[in-house]
Amino acid sequence: MLDIFYNNKSIGINSGLLEILLRISALQVHEPPPAIGEKIRNDWLFISSGHHGEILSPDFDGYMKNDEGRSIALQAIGDAVRLLKDGPPLIDHNLINLLWQTERFSTPIVAEAVVAAGEKLLNFVSAES
């Protein structure tokens, strides 16, 4: 479980589900992104890479201090949640491994679990905005 902080409040989200959500959300940032959109995407890709030896938390206070960053972050996470809801019930672990360029996942991922993490995160940051 990882604590996500925003506006001096926090919630706990499963760190593995958060990594998958952030990776898929990063790919939903519209092209070409403005500077804050590029920062969000790059940060989420780095956080979700798992190559840093510790579990990192997204900097929602930094991203969402202005309307542009808030809009980009919420849009990207919302688009990822919608895609996952409309997709198959299981996300093939081999496909996920391609996104990470590693063999991290050995079983299919239950899409609804990632959706639930995404909705929890959206509700939290939306309520605090």
Q: Model-level pTM greater than 0.85?
A: yes
pLDDT of residue 101: 73
Residue 103 phi, psi (nearest 5): -105, 50
Percent of all residues in the chain with a pLDDT value above 90, rounded to a whole number: 67
User: What letter would DSSP give residue 108?
Assistant: -
What's the pLDDT tens digit per position in 2-45?
A: 899 999 999 999 988 999 999 999 999 998 889 999 999 999 99
Q: Kindly report the CA angle at 96 between 94 and 98, in degrees rounded to 5?
A: 70
> Largest Cα–Cα distance in the chain?
39
What residues does each domain of the chain span? 2-127
Q: Are 18 and 114 in contact (CB under 8 A)?
A: no
